[in-house]
Amino acid sequence: MSTLNSAQEAVDTVANEAIEAALQQTFAVGGAIINNATGEVIAAMHNNVLMPFPGSGTPYFLPHDPTAHGERQLVDWYYDNVAPLNLPPPDQLTIVTTLDPCAMCAGSLLTAGFNVAVSAIDDYAGINYNSQFTFPSLPPKIRLQAQATWGYYGVAAPVSRAYQGSTTAPVFGGQYIDSPAYFLCSSIFSASVNTVREASNNSGLPPDQLQNPANLPATSKVRQALTALSPFALTVQSANPRDPGAELAPPLLKTAQQGKVFNSVALIDPFGNLLACLAGAEDKSPIRTAFMETTRGYALMRWTLMNDPDPAVRAEAGQYLTHPKYGAFVFLYAPDPTTPQAVMTFGAYGSTMEGPVPQSYPSNLQYVLLPGNTTAQALSTLAQNLPPFYTQSVQVAPAQVLSQDLINAVKNGV
C-alpha cells in the first residue's frame, strides 16, 4: 500500500473510497487506517450497507449489513489482522475518514482506542454534530478520550475552517486540506444519504402482509438458514413481540454462556417468534458485542436468502422475514452507559432501523437486566443525548421488559 505525506493526501485517499461507495449506491463514506510514524496506508475501506450480491448479475436485494460502515469495518479488520500482520497498537494508528463518524463508529473507534482524523461534518448523525468538539453524546470520561485523540483537519479558503482537536495524536494533526477535497467528502455523502436510508428503512413487508415463519416446513431454506444462525430460532413464541415472557429466559441464558462476555440479544419478529439469539464474539474483536452479532447475523442471512439463485427462495424470504423495525430486540443485559460500547450499541440500533420505528408501546429496544453499576435513568440519558438522527428520526428509547416473570426467570438462572 502507499505511503502518504500530508492530510491532503490522506483525505484524497479516503475520498476515492467514498467515490467507490457512491458507485455501489451505498452511503458515500470512505476511511483508511494510517500508521502515524510512517504515513503508510495499512487498510482502506468504504461503506457497504447496501451491496450487490457477489456473482449475481442482477442485484435483487441490496440491504446487506446495517453496521458495515467504513470505520466499523476497519476496526474489525484490524483485530482480524493485528496478529498475522504484526500491526502496531491502535494508539499508534489513525483512522482517517471522509465524514464525522456516526454514534456506532465513534463508539467502535473509542472502544479500540484509535486516533481519528476527519474531513467533513455530519450535523445529523455525526458524533461532532454541533461542530463544537464537545461531544455531548459521549459519556464524560470518553468525551475526554475523544478530545485527546481526535482531530478535524482544517480547510483552506474559501471554506476556511480552523483545525479542531488534538494536533499531536492523529496523523498529520494540525494540517489543512483544500476546499475541493472537503466539498467532495461533504457533497458526495449528502447526495447519497436519503436514498440509502429509505432503501434500508423500507426493506421489508409490513406485518399485515408478512407470513408467519413458524409455519415453514423443515425443508424450507429460510427455516434452515434461521436455525443455522441460531439453534433457538423458531423454538419459542411470545404472545406479544413487544412483551416477551419467561419463555425467552432459556434461550437468552444458554446463548450467553457461549460468549467471552456473559450476554446475549434476541430478535423477535412481529408474530412473537424468536428469530435469532446470539452471544458476542469479543474474543475476536472488542466491538463484536451480542447486539452487533445479532443484528449483523440476521441482516447478512436475509441478504443472502433474498439473493438466492432460486426465485422461490427469494420469494419465501421476502414473505417470511421481517425488517427488524417491526419486531423487537431483547438484551439479556443492557449496555453499560459509561462505556463507548453503549454508544456503539445505540448507534448500531439506529443504523439497523435507519429511520422511524413504528411507534407502539413499549419500545422495540428492550433489556431484561441492567449491568450492576448503573440505572435505567443513566441509560435513558445516554440515549437522549445522541445526535439528532437518533433522537428525532429513530427515537432510540431503551426500556426494561414488562414481564416480571421474565426478569425473575433470568435472575434465577444467572
Q: How far is the CB of 46 from Zn ion (least distance, A)?
A: 12
Q: How far is the CB of 102 from Zn ion (least distance, A)?
A: 3
How many residues belong to the site for Zn ion (CB under 5 A)? 3
Query: Cell numbers at residue 3, please?
Result: 505511503
Q: Which stretch binds Zn ion (CB under 5 A): 65-73, 110-118, 280-288, 364-372?
A: 65-73
Query: Cell numbers at residue 115, please?
Result: 486516533
Q: Are 379 and 315 in contact (CB under 8 A)?
A: no
Q: Which is nearer to Zn ion, 100 or 282 (CB)?
A: 100
Q: Which is nearer to Zn ion, 128 or 366 (CB)?
A: 128
How far is Cα 222 from Cα 366, in angstroms, rounded to an integer? 26
Q: How far is the CB of 126 from Zn ion (least distance, A)?
A: 9
Instruction: Give yes or no for residue 105 binding Zn ion (CB under 5 A).
Output: yes
Q: From edge to edge, which strands make up the β-sheet containing 365-369?
A: 274-279, 264-268, 328-333, 365-369, 399-400
Q: Which is nearer to Zn ion, 105 or 379 (CB)?
A: 105
Residue 246 backbone zone (phi > 0: left; psi -120 to 50: alpha; other: beta): alpha
Q: How far is the CB of 74 from Zn ion (least distance, A)?
A: 11
**Cβ neighbours of residue 237 under 8 Å, at least 6 residues apart?**
214, 247, 271, 272, 273, 274
Query: Cell numbers at residue 255, please?
Result: 446463548
Instruction: Give yes or no for residue 102 binding Zn ion (CB under 5 A).
Output: yes
Q: Which is nearer to Zn ion, 106 or 265 (CB)?
A: 106
Q: Which is nearer to Zn ion, 102 or 252 (CB)?
A: 102
Give the three-state DSSP class for 119: strand
Instruction: Give yes or no for residue 75 binding Zn ion (CB under 5 A).
Output: no
Q: Which is nearer to Zn ion, 102 or 409 (CB)?
A: 102
Q: Which is nearer to Zn ion, 102 or 233 (CB)?
A: 102
The DSSP bridge partners found for residue 273 are 237
Q: Which stretch binds Zn ion (CB under 5 A): 9-17, 100-108, 164-172, 386-394?
A: 100-108
Q: How far is the CB of 351 from Zn ion (least distance, A)?
A: 7
Q: Within a 13 Å sphere around the CA of 84, how many CA atoms are in the beta-carbon half?
A: 5
Q: Which stretch binds Zn ion (CB under 5 A): 94-102, 148-156, 191-199, 294-302?
A: 94-102
Q: Which stretch binds Zn ion (CB under 5 A): 96-104, 295-303, 316-324, 383-391?
A: 96-104
Instruction: Read off φ and ψ for residue 177, nearest 5 degrees.
Output: -115, 165
Q: How far is the CB of 104 from Zn ion (least distance, A)?
A: 5
Q: How far is the CB of 5 from Zn ion (least distance, A)?
A: 27
The DSSP bridge partners found for residue 154 are 176
Give the three-state DSSP class for 59: coil
> What sign does the CA torsion over 83, 89, 92, 95 have?
positive
Cα separations in angstroms, 227 against 56, 234, 278: 25, 8, 12
Q: Which is nearer to Zn ion, 152 or 320 (CB)?
A: 152
Q: How far is the CB of 319 from Zn ion (least distance, A)?
A: 31
Q: What is the dihedral of CA 280, 282, 283, 284, to 10 degrees?
A: 100
How far is Cα 7 from Cα 328, in angstroms, rounded to an integer? 43
Q: Which stretch binds Zn ion (CB under 5 A): 1-9, 67-75, 313-321, 403-411?
A: 67-75
Instruction: Give yes or no for residue 106 binding Zn ion (CB under 5 A).
Output: no
Instruction: Give yes or no for residue 69 binding Zn ion (CB under 5 A).
Output: yes
Binding mask 24-63 for Zn ion (x = CB under 5 A): ----------------------------------------
Give the three-state DSSP class for 150: strand
The DSSP bridge partners found for residue 102 are 126
Q: How far is the CB of 109 from Zn ion (least distance, A)?
A: 9
Residues that bind Zn ion (CB under 5 A): 69, 102, 105
